[in-house]
Structure 1
Amino acid sequence: MSGRKGNRKRSADYEVGYGKPPSEHQFAKGQSGNPRGRPKGKKNIDTMLREALFAPIPIQMNGKTTNVSALEAIVLKLRNNAIAGDYRSAVQAIQLAIRALQPEESESSAASPLDQTVMMDLMRDYLEHQDPAANDDGDVPKTDEEEDQ
């Protein structure tokens, strides 16, 4: 024990060795060996997108302010634009509805010809009742049979 600078009297039962530093080299009580802590990791694009889309935002609904997720606000805006006669919003809303209402585990991911015909008829009926000047490009979707002719 002699010959070392700053030696203190150690208790007889404390053995210095691997993982057991001398008491003068141990951290003081209440003091951390890593005061700043572990650095925070960077957020990936999935995390940032999830936080942005599910963050609550205030919107006006029926004269009242209510908080909804940003994703829900986007869907509501798309719905309102489609109802107001925006052709592109209507087509996009219908496509989203078709995708959302499809069963999860279907044997064929494509819609059957009957389903496609019904959807095209619904879109045609919808567009016939719209003001033609309101449509951006005036195109009415055609069924496969009409395209073949």
Structure 2
Amino acid sequence: MTKPAINPPLPRRRPNSNEPTPEARRDENPDEPVPEARHDKASSSAGTGRGGYGDPPIKNRWPKGQSGNPQGKKPGTKSLHTLIEQELDVVIEVTERGKKKKYTKRKLAAMRIVNKAVEGDDKSLTVLLRRDGAMTVAVLPSASVSNEPLSPGEQSILDDFMNMARIAVEREIREGGA
């Protein structure tokens, strides 16, 4: 079975380099009308109300003051992401050990996550480890969780980690950096 022949598009007429431009023709014979260029937007039906590219007919145009998208997003509307970012950057004053300090809400949330992880909260510890990229190995559904006590070596590693995290949090609190 053969495919039907598709006629190739005709090549565009290229202007002859010897042919004078409309401006040159106007200069040669000022009385003779000069044909305008076809695709010149300035000389097209723009503004005539007849219609054309970028110039819809007058009867189809929106009335003055009426939106083309009346149910659309209102100007100045902020996304949820922007609102959360703005709220996290708000500075609040906190009394800490009898002294008033200023922190951003973002800083306070980070301090709380780290403190809860140090206290042994599994969810906070998971958030921290995922944040630092330490949990790159996925737990398979077939993996079982053991309730056996940790070996002395494992307990030592866990204690060292918790101490390092506690020291880092205390240093951050002392420095008061936001």
Q: TM-score range by the shorter chain?
A: 0.3 to 0.5
Q: Structure with the greater relative contact order (CA < 8 A, sep ≥ 6): 1 or 2?
A: 1
TM-score normalised to structure 2 length: 0.32
Structure with the higher helix share, 1 or 2: 1
Q: Which has the larger radius of gyration?
A: 2
